[in-house]
Amino acid sequence: MALTFLSPLHKASRQISVYLEGRTSELGVTPSEGHILTYLRGYGPVTVGDLVRVFGIKQCTLTRMLDRLQQAGLVRREVNPDDRRSLVLRLSERGNDLARRLNRILEALEAEVRERVGARDVKGFHAVMGAVEEVTRPEP
């Protein structure tokens, strides 16, 4: 039995992952690493704790990803000027260039999807996603 909302969401999420995997591997990163790079480009510098909270990735997994990104010269870890016990993450110049390229891939995918739907469809999509967010929001 296919679920009305969750089955299509799961299928779309998987298809997006496969789509991005092919494109990000050509650039030398995984989709998850690409997601971190584009996030840092838009919101950086950020702490490791911020990334754990935003992405819901275990800290040990995230640390391994950050190690790979740092070894590739894409990110830098620096002492947090607001709390010397923690680190902030910044994109290197090379990381910023790669994040810009990754953003163009995402923008192109979004544009292709947008071409296939109308304004009413987008409004309905946002209504469904808002309901999912509301229902799944952790209780205080």
For residue 26, the 8-state DSSP code is T
Domain ranges of the chain: 23-109
Determine the topology of domain 23-109 in CATH.
Answer: Arc Repressor Mutant, subunit A (1.10.10)
**HSE-CB of 19 using CA atoms within 13 angstroms:** 14
| pTM assigned to the model | 0.85
Per-residue pLDDT of the chain (140 residues; tens, 9 = 90+): 678 999 999 999 999 999 999 999 999 999 999 999 999 999 999 998 899 999 988 989 999 999 999 999 999 999 888 888 888 999 999 999 999 999 999 999 999 999 999 999 999 999 999 999 999 988 88
In this structure, what token pair is assigned to residue 105? Answer: 């891939």
Name residue, tokens 């584009």.
38
Per DSSP bridges, beta strands 87-91 and 75-79 are antiparallel
